[in-house]
Amino acid sequence: MKFFIALIAIMAATIVNAALAPDHDVPAVPENPEQAWWSSTDHVLEELCKKCDDEFSRCHREWACWFDPVNCDTRCAIQVCHFDKDCKEKCGWDKC
């Protein structure tokens, strides 16, 4: 009987502890408003550059890279540069 009471007490303490723990998913408010602006801009830039990187990966899976693997990187870099002007201006894909 004492074992079950101890087990129930441990489970209750675990549940209460989890309920009272702070939520770490909520971002802290930055003290500097410019810091918040830059972090949101960086996030948008990461998403934009990821789109360019995905286009580069997609280009590598095309049939032309199987027939000409030596020039595949150069051809795909040029294709990404022309894919979106932001890839060229903001993400460094500038081999147009």
> Would the pTM count as exceeding 0.85?
no
The first and second tokens of residue 34, run together, are: 């410019």
Residue-wise pLDDT for 72-86, tens only, equals: 989 999 998 888 888
Residue-wise pLDDT for 27-64, tens only, equals: 555 555 555 544 556 667 788 889 989 999 999 899 88
Query: Is the CB of residue 81 less than 8 Å from the CB of residue 88?
Result: yes
